[in-house]
A and B are shown apart, each in its own frame.
Chain A
Amino acid sequence: MKTVYVRTVLCILTRLFLLLLAYGEDAVDSAKRNPNELFTIEGKASVPGMKASEWIPATKILIDGGTYQGFLKSDGSFQLFVPTGSYVIDLTHPALDFEPQRVDVNSKGNKRARKLNNIQPNAVSHLTYPLRFKPKGQMNYFQKREEFRIIDILKSPMVIMMVLPIVFLVLIPKLINTDDPEIKKEMQSLNLMNPKQDMPDLSEMVTNLFGGGAPPQKKKEKAVKGKKK
């Protein structure tokens, strides 16, 4: 209590001093004023496209996060009673997004509204007074579920895994005219259809190692078989 008293006295003294410096005459008038005097901040909120009974009961007014309190009337207007100071006034509604505003009330009861700037609290960008509140939009609390789209399915690795081999299997042989004997020859030389031919067979390697029988013959046989095909 005592410290509060000291603080208010100090506050009044500094204010008085400043006012004496600045105005001289006004100081007398201002000294008569009670520092705890309440001033009225007026404002109005409106939500286009919604009935008043739909949003007003759920809307609350927060002044500095709840240090003072105010209530909306049925037409959306409100009156707040505060002593001199600077206040952040915010409207909250579960589904609507209002933008907070800062209101400064000086010791003579003059009010001005500013855009709230938390990073540079002293920056001034004026707003209309009496206050006007309009929602920026609806609150969007939800993440969107991924919708079913063909492109998404096609992009999925599993589908690519399934589709690409088919493309290779079906389309590429069609692109190349296999009936052309030259290409046939080329393909056979490329061993596209039978890539394993040049690969050394594991069983052959083993037999090579231990037996050293007749692998070249076998190879020939195989090659002949391949040609027969």
Chain B
Amino acid sequence: MAASSSITTVTLVALFLAHFPSFEALYEDQVGKFDWRQQYVGNIKQCIIEHGGTRRHIFVSTDANVLAGIHAKTGNVAWRHIFRQGDIGVINALIYTGQELVTVTGNGFAVRMWDPSSGVLQWETLTSQTTPMEKSQTPAVLKFNEENSAKKPRIAVTYAGHVSVVNIKNGEELWKDAIPNSDSVQDFLLQVSTDEDDDGVLVVIGRVPGIGFRVVRFNAKDGSVLGQTQIPSPWVQEDTKCITLSGDKIVCADTQSKSIRIATVKPKQQTQSGFISVPLIKLQLQIQDFRVEPLEKFSMDAGDHQSFVLRLNEESIAWVKLDGDDIRIIQNIPSVLAHSFDLYKEQYMLTTASEDQSKRFILLQSFSKDGEVASLKNRIQLPTQSGSIIMVSASHMDKKDKSIGSRVLVKTSDEGLHLIQQGGQITWSREESLASALSVEMVDLPVSETEAQFEDEFGTKKGDNIFSMFARRISTQMSQLQSYFVHLKKKIESFQHGGVVHHGVDQLTYAVQYESDETMGEYLTRDEFSLHKIIIVATKPGKVFGLDSEDGAILWSYFLPNVAPIERGGKLTLPLMIQRTTAHFPNPPQCTIIAKSKDSDKNVIFSFNPINGKPSLPEYPVGQVLPNPLRQATMQNIVDLEFMKVIVLLDKDNKVSVYPSTAESIVAKNMDKIYLFTADSTSGALNGYRLLPLEENELLKGEFHPIFSAEEVWHVQLPSLLQRITHVVSKRPTEEVHSQGRVLGDRTVLYKYLNPNLVVVISEGEDATAKSHVTVYLIDVVTGNIVFQTDHKRVEGPVHVVHSENWVVYHFWNNRFRRNEVTVLELFEGKSQKNSTAFSSLDPPSAPLVERQSYVFSEALQAITTTQTEKGITSKHVLMVLQSGGIVSLPKRILDPRRPLVPTQQHKEEGLIPYTPELVVPQTAYINYNQSVFGVRSIHTSPAGLESTCLVLAYGLDFYFTRATPSNLFDVLKEDFDYLLIGTVLIGLLVAAIVTRRLASMKALRQAWQ
């Protein structure tokens, strides 16, 4: 009795253990073994090289609303702050005084001071006490010193018709005043002058297009209005660029009359004199389109310099100085792509960057007032695929030997950043375009050459006889043996040198530094479990990267200067498709990008080899321009004779063409299997199409000519007055589903509703009572049948959704209860299956059973996805990137709508966990441990060759790559597998067997003698 009861307890414990969901977790010694993180800052808007303090940092503000300090020595991010997305977080000005780093954000809404070395906030002052307006004009920002004393630095900012002056030392708002008559002002200019009293005067100049300038003078100390005046100047256009200079000067570039207009703001006189015009012809400068630029942004030129820059055209500038009412040229420099000024020993130094004829080298030059500083001239070769220079920022300092030295930061049109030390060495490069990665794919590496030959052996060619096949086999095996010995030799050599053979990529600089193609080719071969892959990243500026999945190093990059991303419903996309994988030797793998042309509405299609980044069609190095703008491009699961998947292009006139064009006949054969659908986010219209062959007379000759027309077969109109479609999520076409159903407690099977054509459409908006509202539709896109629809009232986005197998998980903010929630929908066909071999949307099973459940989830999300494995046997986990920076791996089992409130024996047997309203995330479920990721745009998963393992890449401002093993490593021996123990036990058993045998025989002998 006792024994039987103990057995039942044992089984109960086992059952309980089985029911408890297993969270995958890391061991501490696995840190950094197969994961890596890279931090980016985004497209640089403004950068300052630290000249005071420790000179360790470079401060940058970027388009991604990021403020960061970058180590000048290594190029790594020392500290970083990510402001909120949109206008509220935009960084308008970055000012560095030598001790303080000040930012103006939200179009003048907030002024903050940061500690330059640690990036910690020192003070924060808001210029307004109400929530920021949706649209506000760019602020005018000016740093000045009160009473001309460096101990009293002040910052003046305009915001919403007011001007505020803040003490830079402590953040105290000294005064704030409304600017009279500020409506209809396009933008403001600020200026300080000291000629009046000791207090100083802050002059606010409002530019009104077509009328002129409104000038208000404030006492810089207390903000009292000293006077108002107007400068009528009807030539002022919407886009007229004006700057202020010391000595109360306003300088404008009048592009209409091709002249510089100069005015002096007269302090006390009632009658304000107008502008004096200086035609550029007088200066003997030939220009079409020109601008004026101040020497320093956000602060007055030092010491009555009264000089400024005339940018004459894209390629030349002139450094000029006001001379009374005239202009004198200090330096006239033709062929300048970018320039910058900095103060060196109280003198302005001009640094220019230009390209030479071959565009392979850039030329950096430094000019002082007196002429070029020859010792600072540098000729530098930037990495290939960098684009042209668009920004330069320099800092001059004394070197140890008291001669002048310089540090120059160059930004190129691919959003790359390069620091150049004197002597023409690139200290480091940062590929900031990666921060705006739009699509990511992972590609298997090719098998090594000998292995490929091995596969070749089984006679791909006809006419191979058995002897030649045998001979080939022997030869390949010999070469395999040979390469193994070479490999062994290298290993021994490297062991003797006492180091690990690294493939020569310097991680810190993210730069490509391969010595030769040979070593790279050898390094880039598939490993046993295909865990090592190439990550293809397509970015917003049109640069494509191949990253090494082992350490994130850039293996290759390719810059397409002519493309821009496609904008759909406010989202930027850059479709990236793997047309042919590496599995089809000797055909090379091929990836294709579809983008918008930068200078027209047309689309560009570009194919490349994902392993080496070379264009597949060398005759089109920057892609081919399609004749008609596209509505859609989809890759079909149809391959041509060379195993290339076919891309179907639907253009604006609903005509369909095929890429590659050689596959036209195959597509024509499979025409009745291809259905297309489009969703218009603003109008809420969903349309389904089928293909029809074009009439003979409509056929055009030439590449990318349409061969089909798309005929609308269904149309669904979603409510669009107050709602917009925000998500259209289909399943991954490559997804493998291992199990067709679920075994219930009573041993019957509940079959999954596995409709490959099912798409989740989510629309967000408001309902009739102005309450926020989210609607979820599940639509079969072949027939347009709305399979399921659900509403969430008083619920707000941003919605994060993942769709896989027969389930949908989505995350949203519940306004009513002020918490985040996760809902799961799971679809079942029922206890019988209509067709067990294939699913047909045209002959569908009856409406699926939809099980659903919601949970409270305490965290907000950045992105969500699901794990994906080779054969889909491994249980699925949902990966969530939290706003707090963690990546959490939650078993799908705890997001199961069949979780019962009151569990019964049958539920237990089915393996269901009882329902709990809140999903609690254990700390061991964070797969990125303390490597927090921020600014994540999306998370991508890809199966490895090992069934248990899934490769994960979160990308955005931060890149984080790791492996996820949802069911642990069930198909390989554990890392900590105790070989020693099993060995000793075996040997022990063996020894024991021999010893006991001998002992037994001895004993038997003794007994026999007795």
Give the B-binding residues of A (Cβ under 8 A).
Answer: 1, 3, 6-7, 10, 34, 36-38, 53, 56-57, 60, 62, 64-66, 68-69, 71-74, 79, 81, 83, 86, 88, 90, 92, 94-95, 97, 100, 116, 118-119, 121, 139-146, 153, 156, 158-159, 161-162, 165-166, 169, 228-229
Determine if A94 and B885 form an interchain contact, defined as CB atoms under 8 angstroms apart: yes
Q: Give the chain A neighbours of B79 by CB distance below 8 A.
A: 57
0/1 per residue, B26-37, Cβ < 8 Å to A?
111100000000
* B512-568 interface (Cβ within 8 A of A): none
Chain A residue, CB-CB nearest to B932: A94
B883 and A65 contact, CB distance less than 8 A? yes
A73 adjacent to B120 (CB under 8 Å): yes
Which of chain B's residues have a CB closer than 8 A to the CB of A1? 134
Determine if B684 is an interface residue (Cβ-Cβ < 8 Å).
Answer: no
Known: A74-B115, A86-B818. A65 touches B124 (CB 8 A): no
Given contacts A38-B129, A159-B985, contact A71 B81 (CB under 8 A): yes
Taking a contact as CB atoms under 8 Å apart, the answer to whether B118 and A65 are in contact is no
| Cβ-neighbour of B118 out of A57, A141, A228 (below 8 A) | A57
Please tell me if the beta carbons of B817 and A142 are within 8 angstroms of each other in the complex.
no
Q: Which of B161-169, B613-621, B623-631, B921-929 contacts A (4 or more CB under 8 A)?
A: B921-929
Known: A10-B770, A56-B120, A142-B25. A95 touches B930 (CB 8 A): yes
Contact A73 B129 (CB under 8 A): no
Residue of B nearest to A88 (CB): B818
**B926 x A141 contact (CB < 8 A):** yes
Asked if A161 contacts B989 (CB within 8 A), the reply is yes
Residues B983-1010 near A (CB distance < 8 A): 985, 988-989, 992, 996, 999-1000, 1004, 1007-1008
With A121-B819, A142-B924 known as contacts, the answer to whether A69 contacts B83 (CB < 8 A) is yes
List B contacts of A69 (CB < 8 A). Answer: 83-84, 89
Docked pose: A65 CA to B813 CA in angstroms: 10
Contact assessment for A36 and B929 in the assembled complex, using a CB-CB cutoff below 8 Å: no
| Nearest B residue to A137, CB-CB | B923
Instruction: Report Cα–Cα, A49/B109, bound state, in Å.
Output: 37
- Interface positions of B from 355 to 383, Cβ below 8 Å from A: none
Which B residue sits closest to A56, measured CB to CB? Answer: B120
Residue of A nearest to B765 (CB): A3
Which of B25, B131, B859 neighbours the largest number of chain A CB atoms within 10 Å of its CB? B131
User: Which residues from B are CB-within-8-Å of A71?
Assistant: 81, 112, 121, 124
Q: List A contacts of B122 (CB < 8 A).
A: 73-74
Q: Is the CB of A36 within 8 A of B130?
A: yes
**B119 proximal to A (CB < 8 A):** yes
* CB 8 Å contact bits of B110-154 with A (1 = contact, 0 = none): 001001001111111010111100100000000000000000000
A108-B75 Cα distance, complex, nearest whole Å:
48
How far is it, in angstroms, between the C-alpha of A220 and the C-alpha of B84 when the chains are bound?
99
A100 to B820, CA, bound (A): 14
Rounded to whole angstroms, the CA-CA distance of A34 and B858 in the bound complex is 31
| 11 A–B pairs (Cβ distance < 8 Å), ordered by A | A34-B129, A57-B118, A73-B121, A73-B122, A74-B122, A83-B131, A92-B885, A121-B818, A141-B930, A143-B26, A229-B1008
Q: Are B985 and A79 in contact (CB under 8 A)?
A: no
Asked if B583 lies at the interface with its beta carbon under 8 angstroms from chain A, I say no
B992 adjacent to A166 (CB under 8 Å)? yes
Q: A143: which of B25, B123, B885, B918 is its contact (CB, 8 Å)?
A: B25
Measured between beta carbons, the chain B residues less than 8 angstroms from A162 are: 985, 988-989, 992
Q: Which of B766, B883, B1008 contacts A66 (CB 8 A)?
A: B883
- Shortest CB–CB separation between residue B275 and chain A, in angstroms? 39
How big is the B interface, by class?
35 or more
Judge whether A145 and B27 touch: CB under 8 Å: yes
> In the complex, which residues 67-124 of chain B have their Cβ closer than 8 Å to any Cβ of chain A?
79, 81, 83-84, 89, 112, 115, 118-124
B186 at the interface (CB under 8 A from A): no
Chain B min CB distance to A51 (Å): 11
Name the interface residues of B906-939: CB closer than 8 Å to any CB of A.
917-918, 923-924, 926, 929-932
Interchain CA distance A34-B123 in the complex, whole Å? 26
- On chain B, the residues within 8 Å of A95 by CB distance are 930
List 12 additional contacts besides A3-B770, A139-B923; criterion CB under 8 Å. Answer: A3-B766, A62-B860, A65-B861, A71-B81, A73-B122, A73-B123, A92-B884, A140-B924, A153-B981, A165-B996, A166-B996, A169-B1000
B722 CB-CB contact with A under 8 Å: yes
Most B CB within 10 A of own CB, among A37, A68, A119: A119
For window 803-830 of B, CB contacts with A under 8 Å fall at: 813, 817-820
Whole-angstrom distance between the Cβ of A82 and the nearest chain B Cβ: 9
Which residues of B sit under 8 angstroms from A57, Cβ to Cβ? Answer: 79, 118-120
Chain A residue numbers with a CB within 8 Å of B119 are 57
Residues of A within 8 A of B819 (CB): 88, 118, 121
Which partner residue on chain A sits nearest B931 by CB separation?
Answer: A94
B856 within 8 A of A: yes
A228 B115 Cβ-Cβ under 8 A:
no
Selected from A7, A34, A158, A166, the residue in CB contact (under 8 A) with B985 is A158
Which residues of the other chain, B, contact A83 by a CB distance below 8 angstroms?
131
- In the complex with contacts A38-B131, A72-B121, A228-B1008 CB distance below 8 A: yes
Assembled-state Cα–Cα distance A3/B996 (Å): 90
Chain A residues lying within 8 Å of B917, measured Cβ to Cβ, are 119
In the complex, which of the residues B28, B121, B856, B931 has the most CB atoms of chain A within 10 Å of its own CB atom?
B121
Return chain A residues, CB-CB under 8 Å to B924.
140-143
* Chain B, Cβ-Cβ closest to A179: B1010
Which of B27, B29, B770, B856 makes the CB contact (< 8 A) with A118?
B856
Closest 9 CB pairs of A and B: A65-B860, A94-B930, A92-B884, A141-B929, A143-B25, A71-B121, A36-B131, A142-B28, A36-B130
CA distance A53 to B79 in the complex (A): 12
The interface bits of chain B over 257-283 (1 if a CB of A lies within 8 angstroms of the residue's CB, else 0) are: 000000000000000000000000000
Partner of B932 from the list A92, A100, A118, A121 (CB cut-off 8 Å) is A92
Is residue B976 contacting chain A, with contact meaning CB distance below 8 A? Answer: yes
Q: In this assembly, does B500 line the interface, its C-beta being within 8 Å of a C-beta of chain A?
A: no
Q: Cβ of A146 and Cβ of B988 under 8 Å apart? A: no
Task: Determine whether B2 belongs to the interface, using a CB cutoff of 8 Å to chain A.
Answer: no
A137 to B26, CA, bound (A): 19
Interface: B901 (CB within 8 A): no
Select which of A7, A62, A73, A145 is within 8 A of B29 by beta carbon: A145
Question: What separation, in Å, do the CA atoms of A109 and B638 have in the docked complex?
Answer: 63
The reply to whether A145 and B976 form a contact with Cβ atoms under 8 Å apart is yes
Q: Could you say which residues of chain B place their CB within 8 Å of the CB of A64?
A: 813, 818, 860
Q: Does B842 contact A (CB under 8 A)?
A: no
Name the residue on A nearest B820 (C-beta): A65
Q: How far is the CB of B410 from chain A (nearest CB, A)?
A: 28
The CA-CA distance from A69 to B883 in the complex, in Å, is 12
Chain A, residue nearest B817 (CB): A121
Interface pair A81/B883, CB less than 8 Å apart = no
